[in-house]
Chain A
Amino acid sequence: MNIVYAVIVLGVMAVVFGLILAIAAKVFEVEVDPRLPQIQAALAGANCGGCGYPGCAGCAEAILAGKAPVSACAPAGAEGAAKIAAIMGMEAPSGEKKVAHVMCNGGTNAVKNFEYRGVTDCLAATKVCGGDASACRYGCLGFGSCVAACKFDAIHIGENGVAVVDKEKCTNCGACREACPRKLIVEVPYKQKVFVNCSNKDRGPAVTKVCANSCIACGMCERTCKFDAIHVVNNVAVIDYDKCRNCTMCAKACPKGAIEPIPTAEEKEKFKAAQKAAAERKAAAAKAAAEKAGQ
């Protein structure tokens, strides 16, 4: 008998609470725009904060309010932007996929002024003696602030002590770009294969002293490029990704191996031989032209 009593009392309590909650749900109902959950579903859902809003819910609200563009969520990519644009009844912005890239290949190739043993954080390291632990004042410190910032496991410190982006995993959320105190991480097109992996803006001789893999602003790449896509600006070569066709000629021409993909010795020889042959042909042609003019 007792058990029945207990069941009844608890059952009645449950029903009463259920009713109260059901009524409360009606009374305290807040009208939510039906597009809000849809937009949130189209976002990447990583709560990475790359958009600058507190989490994906915040971003969805901002998009709905028109404060953020439909493409605010970089991890969701063009696909997500298109979905959100459809929900919002707007036209999807076109744009190719972009990823992050670390513009440094120094690391263990760079000279060290002293051994830094403080907090393993890049920003902290830059505060010690003006960040002079590594003699290059522009290079990657390799303490992994970007690695800690990445929510997608897409950036890691490579063998040579420089952060490397895994572009398959990268969603271009921008967290690593924010985290890098030296602003070495930039946005590049996913398709791009050739990069100048140096950001040192000092003049050639000064750069040579601090890093074996540095851009010395010699201009070889600029002269080699057939597409006018690489130029030396502020003593460092910069690729115009709109013009670059990924032919890798500049990488082969670079005397310092500062341009990715770094050519093998064999490729380098081949390139030199080809250059020489071209120069000879040019000289022969000039000679022939001169002779012709002389006649």
Chain B
Amino acid sequence: MSITSLLAISLGAILTNNFIFAQFLGICPFLGVSKKIDTAVGMGAAVTFVMGLASAVCFGINQLLVAAGLEYMQTVAFILVIAALVQFVEMFLKKNVPTLYTALGVYLPLITTNCAVLGVALLNVQNDYNFIQSVVYGITGGLGFLLAIFLFAAVREQLEFADNPKCFDGFPIALITAGLIALAFMGFSGLKVW
């Protein structure tokens, strides 16, 4: 493991294999909370935080499962872990960092059902990442999510004032925009690090 491999993982997670625009994971919060930039950034930050934590914890859980010969239980186990983890983090923040708790607000419990978080745990296993690589992949994947939802929210705020055809108003034009941004992100697939 070298710095280059970590850099490659980061760049892949943020740009080339962006969780939203290339792997289409975590679309529900991406569409649901992207109407305003500040809520979008709040959601992105919360996802980044939980994705980093989840990859760390799920790495340990996966070691356990492999030792027990129960690799096929990964999905179920990870869902359980993530749900418990989010609950725990919420309680911890409420007590110790109330400002962050109120800032994240309703987005924190919403992350329980975010497929990007489950996705990062499963992809870590698929890609045979070690502990540090897993955590880096989790955090940078979250940052990629943050970037995507921020860009999308910025566009959607402007869309509010656009004079769209009636049939495209609201979600349809937002989905078209998301598709166009995804196309633009395909441009990053030419990037290479080494």
Report A's interface with B, CB cutoff 8 A.
5-6, 9-10, 13-14, 17-18, 20-21, 24-25, 27-30, 119-121, 124
Contact = CB atoms under 8 A, between A and B. Distances in A.
B115 to A, nearest CB: 20
Interface residues of chain A: helix, strand, loop or mixed (majority): helix
Contact of A20 (B64, B76, B84, B94): B84
Given A6-B73, A9-B68, A13-B80, A30 B163 contact: no
Interface residues of B, number: 22
Contact of A28 (B81, B84, B91): B91
Nearest to A148: B160
B96 interface: yes
B92 interface: yes
Contacts of A21: 84, 87-88, 91
Given A9-B68, A10-B80, A24-B91, A121 B73 contact: no
A2 to B, nearest CB: 8
A30 B96 CA distance: 10
Interface in B46-104: 61, 64-65, 68-70, 73, 76-77, 80-81, 84, 87-88, 91-92, 94-96, 98
Contact of B92 (A10, A24, A119): A24
6 contacts: A6-B73, A9-B64, A9-B73, A10-B73, A14-B80, A24-B87
Nearest to B73: A6
A6 B68 CA distance: 9
Contact of A120 (B68, B87, B163): B163
B161 interface: yes
Nearest to B61: A13
B92 A28 contact: yes
A13 B84 CA distance: 11
A13 B70 CA distance: 13
